[in-house]
Structures are given as C-alpha cells and as structure tokens.
Chain A
C-alpha cells in the first residue's frame, strides 16, 4: 500500500517502540519532572454551584509556613485573558470565564484563589486558610428547568439561560412525516459522564527572566494550540512561549482544551520568577476538567410499514454547563451532522437548544457528539423494528446505502467517503451465528431466562477534518529529517497520548524509505522542536498526521531517488528503496546503500545538478473531506431477574477503519473504546444534586469499568480504504465508544422485551433493571415515550406510567397504530 517494492511493515502487529520506558517506570509525565527552586500551586475552589463572592480573605494564608504567594481574581485584575472558546455558533450568548472568579461563581469547583508554597503539603494547608465569603444564589441544575420561564439566570446581562438555538434541516421533513405509515418517538437521555484519564491534568511552568522565555509542560493533547492561546491570554509574544507535552496519561478529549490553570501557572512562574507546578487532584479532575455528553433528545422517526425510513426529527437539549471551554458549543452540532447514521434517510431535521447550567462545562469526550447521534439513531432503529415486528438486522439492512452509492451525500450536508455496510454486517452475522443466537434466545425465554441480542451498525466521522469545517484548522504538519547517519526523524504535530504514533508512524517511515522501524524516530509534543501542528483528537492522528508524515517522506524519497540514480547511473523513476538500499528496478546491480546516498546529500560533493544539499521536508496536509469509518457490532447479554444483573455473554465488533497500519494498536483502540462505551451504558453517571453538588466527585463514587466487569471482545475487520488520503486510513480511536453504547443498550432492551420494556435510559444499573423485571412497569424515571401513529403524533409523548401491565399497553398502542395507518 505504501510502497509496492518493499516488504511492508505497515499492516504488521509490531510491538510498540514507546513501551520499554513505560513498563520500566522510567518515562516522564508532568509530575515526574522537578526543577530546582520549584514551587507548588493549590487552588481554592468554590463549594457552591452558584454564589456571589463577597470577599476573599487571604491574609492568614499568606503568612502560613512555606507560602510564597496567594492570589485572587481581584489580584489578577486583567493580567490574564478569559478562558478561550474556539467554537462560534451564530447568535451564541457570551459566557466569559476568568481564570479566577471575581464576583460570582457558577459551578462547584470554580477556582477563586491560588496558593503557591514551597511544597505541596504547605500549599494544601494554606489553601484551607483562605476565607471566602459567599452569598449563595439559587442554582440552575436541571437543563429543562433552566430554560423554563422565571428560572434564575447565570449571566445577569441576559434574560435566560439559552446559550444558543441551532437548527439543521435537509430534505423535505414535513412531507416525510405526512407520508409516514408509522412514527416512532422516544425521549432519550444521554447522561453526563466524566472522562477520567488516569493521569489528571498537570502543569509545570518555568519562566526564565534573562531569556524572557516561558516554558510550560502540560498534560495536553494540543501543545501548539495551547501555546498560541497561552500567548494570547498572558500577552506574551508567542515566540517566547514553549509548550512541552511529556508523556500524557490519557486524554479522551479532556486534555483537548485550554484551561485557566495552564495560563495561571504560567503567569505565577513569570511573576515569581521561579518554576511553579500544579498537579490536579482526582476530586478537582472530576469537578473541573471537562465532562461529556449530557443531552436530552426527543427523536422521531417516520417510516413506511415495510421499514423504509422516510425522515427523522430530533430536538436536543444540550447541557453545556456554566461556561464554554475550547469546543463546548460545537459538540451538540456534531450530533446533528451524524444523526442519520448509516442509513439512507432522505429528510432530517435537528433542533438544538444549548443550555447554560451551574455545572462544569461539557466538551469533547471521546466521540464528542457522535456517540450521542449514534445512540439516538441506533435506539430509534430498534424501536422502529419492534414497532414493525421486524428483525433489527433487517430494518438496518433495508435502509443502508449500497456500496456503489458512495460517495454518499447525507441530508445533513456530509459526503460519506466510502463504505460497504452490507459486507460488514454480513461478516458480523456470520461470525456471530446470528440466527442460532435468536434460536437460543427463544429457547431460553421458554425456560424463563432473559437473553438479549443487541445490534448496532454505526458510521462515524473521523480524521477531523477539512479546515473549512473546523474551528481552528483541520490540517496537520509533519517534518521529516533524515540525519547524516541515515537515521530518520519524523516530527509530527499530532501529539499522541497513548495511541502509539511512535510505532505506527515508524512503520510508515520504514516502508517509504526501505528501512527498519528502529531507524525511524518520532518526535512530538515540543513546540520549540516540532513545526506548528493541531494535535491528536477526533480520530485524526494517523489519517491526517500520518498522511502529513507520509507526504514528507515521499518528498525525501524522491530526492534520494535522484541522488541514488545519479550515483548508480540509473533513472530516478526506476529506483527501489528496500533493505536499506536504493537500487534500479530494471538493473538491481545499479545500487547504492541508503547511508551512502544520505551521506552524498550532506557532503554535497556528488549531487546531481540542480539538487540542493540536505534532507529535510515539511508538509502541511489539508484533507479534502472527513473520513467515515463504520462497523457492525453485536452484543449478547443475559439479565438476571433475581438480581438485576446484566452479564455480557458475547461482544463481537466488526469494524472498518480503512487500511490498518498496526492491527495490534487498532485492536487496542477498539477494545478500549468499547469498554468506555460499556462504562457509560452500565454504570457511569455524573450526578449533580439539586444544589449543584457533584455527588459523584471521586472514583469512590463514580464507577469506571474494572477488569472483572468487562467481557472478552472479539474483533473482526473489513477493509474499505478511504480515497481521502493516500494511506487509505480512516481512524479508529473513537469507533468503540460510538458503536458500543447503543449495541449494549439494544441488547438489554431486547432481553427485557418480555417485560414490556421498549426503552431504558442509561446507565443500566442493577436496581433499574431489577425493578423493570420485577414490577413489569416502566420505571424509566417517569419519562418514557411511546410508539405512535401519525394521528396521535400531534400530541406529546405520554409521561405518566401506564396502569395496565406494560405488555398490554404496548399491544393496545400497536393496535391503535395499525388502525390509524393510512392506506397508501
């Protein structure tokens, strides 16, 4: 794929080059770096969700042992700019956030002061001595109540808490719903979750007054964007700011941001002329690093009675939290773009009402808006299948665009690049023995055992993305430098945090130049060394960053081919790079060693005319489109009526992420993504109480998946290369998170069908499942929907639990639907 001539390293399950330092504990995350004279910062944070700050008294803290400085928002004045937001939606309200609150706090955990001391313990002690006088205000916690008339407002300059309204419509939605035989409706809550990277955030800043340079070590996914924003926030010329990203202990979007703490720690080092370190505690991480999801979605699907989907309507209430972080307002709009999923839906409309509440900001958490879209459409397809008494597989198959229809244009304005959904689904059905599973399910039901089979056929949007569709550039850079000793250095702007680019990019480099991956070093995460880049997020590292590297490699290969041909007396177009040699394809005796050719480029005595010395090439790769990976997942669960326990008996993921550079790494991404998806579906839920306290504020109260909770995941692949980049790769970092949640949810609902259950909101905790299985009632927090006929469609969804048993209710609803269906 990369070079026809070489035995490719691309495609091989090579073990990772980055691992030896990580498995021996000799790598460096931010907190592993110590500088002489380093101070430690600890923040004083609001215990109230909504309050006026009357005063901040720091005198006791200032004289505490070891304390060097205590600063409040008032002390800072206008020294530091507001926390930046790169996303703009038309008519969006401003929600300015200072790095330290001055007169008002709007969520629990908002920083009001910072203490800097000689060691962490002294700083922590002194933080308790800062006295803040708060005047509590009524918190706005529930997003639906937040937009009701008379709700207290977060920002006094506005009359309500609606951050923005946004609509997206394509096709004739009105007509689609008029023509429908059946309309399926459901209110679906996609609960707020917390990313929980195992390494919390951390910043170390060192200002050198002589050189006037400010170096920031930060656990971030976006070193260059951070540098630009820090320069702007601090008013420091950008060339004096250097951001270094050491090892990053996971991100999942939570470090795809610019946080106030990063600027403030830099400012403190500049002011105090000493290095300052801040390491986030886990509680702070829960309260003050971005959250994800948090949508209430009312979806409606219009169908013909044969299962053909005619149209989709969705109203989304998106809880943005109190302020905007870097991409906060953008995320719900991504849900809109992807709402049609992998189906040919001719007309679709989404209305987003984005709401400000007294909570931490939501932002890009692994998948960022697309898991929400997939969850919506995949649940809706199952609801439609149930209503029409179709198999969930059949209704999906019926609505797929065919392989020959790609590139396929969606009514939401996207062009899906390439796909073969049928083949992918067929492989899943074959590998899972789907028919047999259904037979087993029927048999077990007769025995009073509740097995459920869930299917999800997702499509996601990756390789973010063309700059025209991105808030701050969608390209990626790479410089490739071949050193005089013949070793290769790829400097990539796609700064990784566990994805394994040091290995996968080395595989690409080795193939292009006929070398071993050991000869290729990947350098990243240092703005003084690496050309300006965007970062690793949105499943873009390989598809965009890898392509930039590939293009630079090819430029150098062309130059080396010229030099080698000149030295060997051959033609440049005929040169093959293989086994550390460059030789003529038609006459392999005409051969130069890679090293001799590189030496010639540097010694520069035997270069062909018109060829410059040196071996250095930079590419800024701008993709022409996103890529659209897809997959078919299957989950088999068994629900236990005695305990409410749901056990995953089987999970099969068939994914298509285009060409695969390293199957080991792709499997790792799929496994991790699915487990994160199951985490949301099974247990994860950021719970704020009525006072706006985050009561799931530690790992003691917020369950992320443990090894013992998780199933063995079988993976299979189909390969549909993308035409969007020369590597043919699509991206895989978020696939599992996008496909996994609805797949599991569909399985659980399927298991509970005998109890009259048609929808359950996440997380599917035991108690919720047990109640459904034992009371035969919909206990879905009293917020349930129903399948309705067009005649009943004008009325909103019934919200009271029904008196009769659920089974009976569903039956009568179906009868009603059948009656009111129009004759076509």
Chain B
C-alpha cells in the first residue's frame, strides 16, 4: 500500500508515493538524496535528524513522511538559500540578503562549533528555530534550547558561542 504525499522541501515541490511507515528521515535521505540530515538514535533523543517543518524544529526520525505531507520543510541543504530568498528558514519572511551561508552556519564556522560535524546540521536547525523566536538569547536559554540535540565532541561551549555570534549578526542585519 502506497500513500501519496506532497511536500515543499527547500523551496521545491515534491510529490511521491510512499509506504505509510516510511520515516520522514528516510524519505529525505533515501528517496530524495538529501543526506545532509543525519540519523543518530532513532528515538528522538539525539536531534541529529532535526529539520524545520513549517518553521518548527522536528526530529525527522520519529515523524512519518505521511504525517509531514502538506508541510514546508527546510533541511540543512536548503537553509542558506531559503534565508537568502527572504525566509527565516520557514518559507516566509522579509528579504535577508547576506552571503552563501545562513548566519548560524557562519557562527558555527567562526566559533569552531563543530568537530566531527555529525550533529551539526540538526544543531544548526534547532538554533535557527531558537533565534526566530528569541533574537537575543542568554547562555542558559541557548543551552536549554539545544538540549534536545546531543553533541559528543565539542562540550557545547563553542556551540553556545556560535549561536551567540549568529544572534548578534542577525540582530545587526535586522537593525
């Protein structure tokens, strides 16, 4: 039994027939070849599979592709382009301009917010979600906000700095 789904992913429309049990993460990775989103635990704990679904960070390892049907998804591959074209990563918003990276991506690069890089796409998307609702988060707000994303390499300190760096940059652009 296959179910028809329709999704907008990174600004493109996709129509597919999928098994009802197909996980969104496998749809993104195996069906569409969007392998930037990773699988770390299959139990919603680690957050490596985080994507933005209708602007909210979700763990795509525990969302069925059919549940996401009709939604607007941003993955790490589409984050910068979505941002450039005026979205906040949720498909709508004012024009942002900027370079080839999203400010959060820039922050992670500037502040050494990653080592092995495996958790990074999910960590970046969770941070993007945070900065949408809280443009000037405190250290503890950042730490709490990314507590659904596990990193085994960095000890989180440089990630916190990365998000602070991005927040400052995004506030500057808006101002």
Q: List chain A positions with a Cβ less than 8 A from chain B.
A: 15-16, 18-20, 22-29, 31-32, 34, 119-121, 196-200, 247-250, 252, 279, 281-283, 497-500, 664-665, 667-668, 670-676, 698-700, 704-710, 712-713, 736
Contacts and interface: CB of A to CB of B under 8 A. Distances in A.
A671 B76 contact: no
Given A32-B35, A700-B45, A674 B77 contact: no
Contacts of B43: 282, 698-700
Contact of A198 (B26, B101, B116, B143): B116
B118 A675 contact: no
Contacts of B149: 707
Contacts of B41: 282, 698-699
Contacts of A27: 117
Contact of A498 (B21, B109, B115, B142): B115
A710 B151 CA distance: 12
A196 B152 contact: yes
Nearest to A669: B115
Task: Indicate the member of A282, A497, A665, A704 with the most B CB atoms within 10 Å.
Answer: A282
B86 interface: no
Contacts of A16: 109, 112
Contacts of B158: 667-668, 671
B114 interface: yes
Nearest to A119: B30
Contacts of B142: 707
B83 interface: no
Contacts of B124: 23
B115 A668 contact: yes
A283 to B, nearest CB: 8
A235 B119 CA distance: 37
Given A199-B40, A712-B139, A24 B101 contact: yes
Given A29-B38, A250-B152, A282-B41, A23 B101 contact: yes
Nearest to B149: A707
B80 A708 contact: no
A620 to B, nearest CB: 27
Contacts of A709: 147
Given A198-B48, A668-B158, A713-B157, A706 B147 contact: yes
Nearest to B117: A22
A672 B152 contact: yes
B77 A198 contact: no
B120 A23 contact: yes
Given A25-B77, A199-B116, A498-B115, A672 B39 contact: no
B77 to A, nearest CB: 5
Contact of B46 (A24, A198, A499): A198
B155 to A, nearest CB: 3
19 contacts: A23-B109, A25-B34, A25-B36, A29-B35, A121-B19, A198-B40, A198-B48, A198-B150, A198-B153, A199-B118, A247-B116, A247-B117, A282-B43, A498-B117, A667-B112, A698-B45, A706-B147, A710-B156, A710-B157
A200 B157 CA distance: 23
B114 A675 contact: no
Contacts of A498: 114-117, 153
Contact of B143 (A23, A282, A710): A710
B108 A197 contact: no
Contact of B76 (A25, A248, A668, A710): A25
Given A24-B101, A707-B147, A198 B152 contact: yes
Contact of B116 (A250, A673, A707): A250
For chain B, what secondary structure do more than half of its interface residues adopt (helix, strand, loop), or is it mixed? Answer: loop
A249 B147 contact: no
Contact of A24 (B26, B80, B153): B80
B37 A31 contact: no
Given A252-B152, A699-B45, 13 more contacts: A15-B112, A16-B109, A19-B108, A22-B120, A23-B117, A24-B76, A24-B105, A25-B121, A26-B77, A29-B118, A281-B42, A670-B155, A707-B143
A736 B120 CA distance: 22
B154 interface: yes
B52 interface: no
B146 interface: yes
A25 B144 contact: no
Contacts of B117: 18-19, 22-23, 27, 247, 249, 498
B140 A708 contact: yes
A674 B21 CA distance: 40
B153 A250 contact: yes
A497 B116 CA distance: 6
Contacts of A672: 115, 152-155
B115 A708 contact: no
B88 interface: no
A676 B109 contact: no
Interface string B14-41: 0000010110001001100111111111
B40 A671 contact: no
A247 B116 CA distance: 8
B105 A499 contact: no
Contacts of A34: 30, 33
B40 to A, nearest CB: 5
Contacts of A497: 116
A252 B152 CA distance: 9
B156 A23 contact: no
Nearest to A21: B117
A63 to B, nearest CB: 20
Contacts of A248: 116
B114 A704 contact: no
Given A25-B35, A674-B155, A707-B159, A249 B112 contact: no
A34 B40 CA distance: 18
A667 B156 CA distance: 12
Task: Indicate the member of B39, B115, B119 with the most A CB atoms within 10 Å.
Answer: B115
A311 to B, nearest CB: 37
A26 B36 contact: yes
Contacts of B46: 198, 282, 699
A115 to B, nearest CB: 18
* For the complex of A and B, 10 pairs with smallest distance between CB atoms: A25-B36, A249-B118, A498-B116, A22-B117, A671-B155, A25-B76, A675-B155, A498-B115, A32-B35, A699-B45
Contact of A15 (B29, B80, B110, B156): B110
Interface string B45-75: 1101000000000000000000000000001
Contact of A22 (B45, B114, B151, B159): B114
A197 to B, nearest CB: 6
B46 to A, nearest CB: 6
Given A31-B35, A198-B118, A25 B109 contact: no
Contacts of B34: 25
Nearest to A736: B155
Contacts of A664: 112
B167 interface: no
Interface in B81-132: 101, 105, 108-110, 112, 114-121, 124
Contacts of A29: 35, 38, 118
Contacts of A704: 150, 152
A708 B152 CA distance: 14
Task: Indicate the member of A248, A665, A708 with the most B CB atoms within 10 Å.
Answer: A708
Nearest to A678: B155
A249 B38 contact: yes
B160 interface: yes
A18 B115 CA distance: 9
Contacts of A250: 115-116, 118, 152-153
A500 B154 CA distance: 12
Nearest to B39: A31
Nearest to A699: B45
Contacts of B19: 121
Contacts of B75: 25
A120 B61 CA distance: 14
A300 B157 CA distance: 38
Given A250-B116, A710-B143, A19 B109 contact: yes
A207 to B, nearest CB: 22
